[in-house]
């Protein structure tokens, strides 16, 4: 196995694959910055160019492009509050507030560096998983997927902040939105209002772009100031000098990086869950374990680190079922699967035996491309950070166009733009009246999956699915995830009761 690992590396370090990887990284870099235009779409557009390539060349090009989009998607999230990808929404929550108070450099340093570490972690897991890849994939069936979606939903508790009741309402609202469309078992139309557009449900990309980006742009229009606050002595130079601090933050919070990467890789393996779920699971977990959970959503560097690491770790995770069985773990790896066929590789046993060196070259590419992208990003950090210090109205037309395009490219329909506008209204109302947005989004993402997998679990296994070992294990983790914060709340409350005036009506 070691010799294949080395052979994979030397195959990547040939002039042509290396050049193609750089080209891929460059394309992915730009595409990641454009909101809406996701990695999967770009892969599909670039697929025809790989027809004449050798396997290693093709994967250097495609993988290089793909893994980079999740890194650069975080950049717009941090700087403008407009997620570059649906998977970069969690980065907005803390990254953007940091930018506003003049710490954009620190936030970017943290998110980029933790992205790189996350990628390395994911690649390491992928490499180590090779001997057991097939049994691991086979151990996950709808009951396990369902348990994972439920685990994801328990993070509603953590992500609701102080407003638990509001959090639950928003989560129920999100689940309701997830129900729009044809029902998965019988094709009944639910809440579709006779609109064909709604048959496939509400698109996640327009929703994310509106929910997070819309509010930021409106705020910029209202205040007419620059994004980063000029008072308090924040300057572009001061902000940029924070990059180093961001990197140190990441090193200081290394257990967080590992845990978030592990969540990313784990969720990535599961077909169908994907990055939009993983980011919030990692974010919620980071908040739960933080010493200052109340700072989350207001610019906690831990939130930025978690969402950076999880994003890049999940890519390697979703390659695991693709390589092992030819079953894609997400939209991006589904397109990569066609690339396998184009270059004449059969995913499955072959990738783990005779073509093992190609598998390793893929792992090397994910690591290398990430490092190159992060290095390149540090290079353009300066001009980008400066943008947040220029006058707000200058950015407004540009950002409005980004919002519109980000939504429209989801399915090339103006209805996507309407969804984005409605989501933006929801986002603004949530912020204005202090209702939590994140449980809503989490529930939208998880809702339809939860229903599907619940019914599938029952159809396939009857009630026996409840006793499957992995399901029980995830159940135990869920219990901990719920009990933990409750205990903490209770403790905080008993502290608070020492100050009689504060004990609210709710107690």
Partner 1 sequence: MNTALPYRRSLRTLVALGLGAGVLSGCSSDSEPAASGGSGDCSSLEGETITIVVPYEPGGGYDSYTRLVAPYIEEEIGATIAVQNQPGAGGLLALNSLLAEDADGTTLAIMNGVGAGGSSIAGAEGANFSLDDFTYIGRVASDPSLLVTSATGPYQTFEDVVAADEFRWGSTGPGAEDYVTSSLISAVFDIPGEVVTGFPGSGETELAVVQGSIDGMSGNLTSRRGAVEDDTQTPVLVVGEERPDWLPEDVPTVAELETTEEQSELLDAHLALIELGRPFVGPPGMDEAAMSCLRTAMAAAMENPELVTESQEQERELAFLPGDELEGLVQDLMDAPPAYSELLATLY
Partner 2 sequence: MSAAESRHTTSPARTEEIGMADPAPQAPSRRSSTGAVADVVLGLLLLALFGWAFLEAADWSFKAAIFPRIVTGLGFSVAFLQVVQSLLRLAGGRRAAGARTPVTSPAGPIEPVPAESVPQAAGTTAEDDANEDDVEYVFQTAGARRWTEAIAWVTGFFVLLYVAGLFVTAPLFSVLYLRFAGKRSWTFCAIYAVTIGAVLYAAFELALGIPVPPGLFLD
Closest distance to partner 1 from the beta carbon of 203 (Å) = 9
| Chain residues that interact with partner 1, rule: CB under 8 A | 40-41, 43-45, 47-48, 51, 137-138, 140-142, 182, 184-187, 189, 196-197, 199-200, 271-272, 321, 325-328, 331, 334-335, 338, 341-342, 344, 346-350, 411-413, 449, 452, 455-456, 459-461
Given 48, 52, 186, 255, the residue binding partner 2 (CB under 8 A): 186
Q: With CB cut-offs between 5 and 8 Å by kind, which of partner 1, partner 2, none does residue 243 bind?
A: none
Q: Is position 462 an interface residue for partner 2 (rule: CB under 8 A)?
A: no
Among 141-149, 314-322, 399-407, 465-473, the segment contacting partner 2 (CB under 8 A)? 399-407
Q: Would you say 48 or 469 has its CB closer to partner 2?
A: 48
CA distance linking residue 67 with residue 18, whole number of Å: 15
- Residues 287-316 within binding reach of partner 2 (CB under 8 A): 292, 294-295, 298-299
The token pair at 450 is 């939860």
CA distance linking residue 68 with residue 72, whole number of Å: 6
Closest distance to partner 1 from the beta carbon of 209 (Å) = 17
Residue bearing tokens 């072959």:
350
The torsion angles phi and psi of 326, rounded to 5 degrees, stand at 70, 20
Query: What string of H, E and C letters represents the secondary structure of 246-300?
Result: HHHHHHHCHHHHHHHHHHHHHHHHCCCCCHHHHHHHHHHHHHHHCCCHHHCCCCC
Closest distance to partner 1 from the beta carbon of 62 (Å) = 11
Q: Is position 175 an interface residue for partner 2 (rule: CB under 8 A)?
A: yes
Nearest Cα to Cα of residue 107 among 281, 302, 255: 302
Q: Is position 179 an interface residue for partner 2 (rule: CB under 8 A)?
A: yes
Nearest Cα to Cα of residue 270 among 308, 231, 319, 225: 319
**Alpha helices (runs of H) in 388-500, residue ranges in sequence order:** 392-408, 414-432, 438-461, 469-497
Q: With CB cut-offs between 5 and 8 Å by kind, which of partner 1, partner 2, none does residue 234 bind?
A: partner 2
Residues 64-93: x where in contact with partner 2 by CB under 8 A, - otherwise, as a string: ------------------------------
Q: Are 347 and 326 in contact (CB under 8 A)?
A: yes
Closest distance to partner 1 from the beta carbon of 347 (Å) = 6
* Site residue total, partner 2 (CB under 8 A): 84
Q: Is position 383 an interface residue for partner 2 (rule: CB under 8 A)?
A: no
Among 120-128, 230-238, 352-360, 476-484, the segment contacting partner 2 (CB under 8 A)? 230-238
Helical packing angle, 331-342 and 55-80, nearest 10°: 160
97, 101, 208, 226, 235 from 238: Cα distances, Å? 16, 11, 31, 16, 5
- Residues 408-427 within binding reach of partner 2 (CB under 8 A): 408-409, 412, 414, 417, 421
Q: Is position 252 an interface residue for partner 2 (rule: CB under 8 A)?
A: no
CA distance linking residue 85 with residue 307, whole number of Å: 12
The number of angstroms, rounded, from the C-alpha of 259 to the middle of its chain's C-alpha atoms is 15
Q: Is position 176 an interface residue for partner 2 (rule: CB under 8 A)?
A: yes
Opening angle at CA 369, ends 368 and 375, nearest 5: 90
Q: With CB cut-offs between 5 and 8 Å by kind, which of partner 1, partner 2, none does residue 22 bind?
A: none
Closest distance to partner 1 from the beta carbon of 163 (Å) = 32
Given 15, 232, 383, 469, the residue binding partner 2 (CB under 8 A): 232
Side-chain half-sphere exposure of 117, counting CA atoms within 13 A: 26
Side-chain half-sphere exposure of 372, counting CA atoms within 13 A: 25
Given 16, 128, 139, 401, the residue binding partner 2 (CB under 8 A): 401
CA distance linking residue 240 with residue 233, whole number of Å: 13
Q: Are 177 and 202 in contact (CB under 8 A)?
A: yes
Q: With CB cut-offs between 5 and 8 Å by kind, which of partner 1, partner 2, none does residue 232 bind?
A: partner 2
Given 20, 21, 37, 111, the residue binding partner 2 (CB under 8 A): 37
User: What 8-state DSSP symbol labels residue 465?
Assistant: G
The torsion angles phi and psi of 488, rounded to 5 degrees, stand at -65, -40
Given 190, 251, 338, 460, the residue binding partner 2 (CB under 8 A): 190
Q: Is position 192 an interface residue for partner 2 (rule: CB under 8 A)?
A: no
Q: Is position 97 an interface residue for partner 2 (rule: CB under 8 A)?
A: yes
Strand, helix or coil for residue 182: strand
Q: With CB cut-offs between 5 and 8 Å by kind, which of partner 2, partner 1, none does residue 28 bind?
A: none
Closest distance to partner 2 from the beta carbon of 5 (Å) = 36
The number of angstroms, rounded, from the C-alpha of 247 to the middle of its chain's C-alpha atoms is 20
Q: Would you say 100 or 452 has its CB closer to partner 1?
A: 452
Q: Are 216 and 35 in contact (CB under 8 A)?
A: no
- Residues 101-130 within binding reach of partner 2 (CB under 8 A): 101-102
């Amino acid at each position: 196995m070691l010799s294949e690992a080395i052979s994979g590396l030397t195959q990547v370090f040939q002039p042509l694959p290396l050049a193609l990887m750089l080209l891929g990284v460059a394309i992915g870099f730009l595409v990641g910055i454009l909101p809406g235009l996701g990695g999967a779409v770009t892969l599909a557009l670039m697929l025809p160019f790989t027809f004449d390539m050798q396997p290693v060349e093709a994967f250097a090009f495609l993988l290089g492009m793909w893994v980079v989009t999740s890194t650069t998607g975080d950049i717009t999230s941090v700087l403008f509050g407009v997620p570059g990808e649906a998977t970069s929404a969690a980065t907005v929550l803390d990254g953007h507030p940091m930018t506003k108070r003049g710490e954009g450099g620190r936030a970017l340093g943290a998110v980029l560096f933790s992205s790189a570490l996350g990628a390395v972690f994911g690649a390491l897991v992928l490499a180590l998983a090779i001997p057991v890849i097939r049994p691991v994939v086979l151990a996950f069936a709808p009951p396990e997927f369902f348990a994972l979606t439920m685990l994801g939903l328990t993070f509603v508790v953590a992500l609701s902040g102080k407003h638990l009741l509001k959090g639950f309402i928003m989560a129920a609202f999100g689940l309701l939105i997830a129900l729009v469309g044809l029902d998965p078992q019988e094709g009944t139309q639910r809440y579709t209002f006779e609109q064909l557009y709604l048959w496939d449900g509400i698109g996640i990309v327009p929703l994310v772009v509106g929910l997070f980006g819309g509010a930021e742009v409106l705020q910029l229009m209202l205040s007419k100031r620059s994004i980063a606050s000029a008072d308090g002595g924040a300057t572009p130079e001061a902000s940029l000098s924070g990059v180093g601090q961001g990197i140190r933050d990441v090193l200081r919070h290394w257990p967080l990086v590992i845990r978030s990467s592990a969540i990313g890789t784990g969720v990535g393996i599961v077909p169908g869950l994907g990055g939009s779920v993983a980011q919030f699971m990692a974010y919620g977990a980071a908040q739960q374990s933080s010493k200052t959970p109340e700072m989350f959503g207001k610019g906690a560097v831990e939130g930025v680190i978690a969402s950076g690491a999880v994003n890049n770790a999940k890519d390697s995770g979703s390659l695991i079922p693709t390589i092992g069985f030819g079953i894609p773990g997400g939209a991006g790896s589904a397109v990569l699967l066609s690339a396998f066929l184009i270059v004449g590789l059969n995913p499955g046993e072959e990738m783990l035996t005779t073509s093992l060196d190609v598998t390793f070259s893929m792992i090397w590419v994910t690591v290398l491309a990430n490092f190159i992208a992060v290095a390149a990003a540090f290079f353009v950090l300066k001009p980008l950070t400066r943008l947040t210090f220029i006058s707000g109205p200058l950015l407004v037309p540009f950002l409005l166009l980004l919002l519109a395009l980000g939504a429209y490219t989801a399915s090339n329909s103006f209805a996507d733009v309407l969804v984005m506008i409605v989501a933006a209204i929801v986002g603004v109302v949530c912020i204005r009246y202090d209702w939590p947005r994140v449980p809503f989004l989490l529930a939208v993402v998880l809702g339809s999956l939860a229903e599907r997998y619940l019914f599938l679990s029952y159809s396939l296994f009857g009630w026996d699915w409840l006793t499957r070992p992995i399901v029980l294990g995830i159940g135990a983790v869920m219990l901990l995830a719920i009990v933990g914060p409750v205990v903490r709340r209770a403790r905080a409350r008993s502290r608070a009761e020492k100050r009689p005036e504060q004990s609210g009506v709710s107690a």
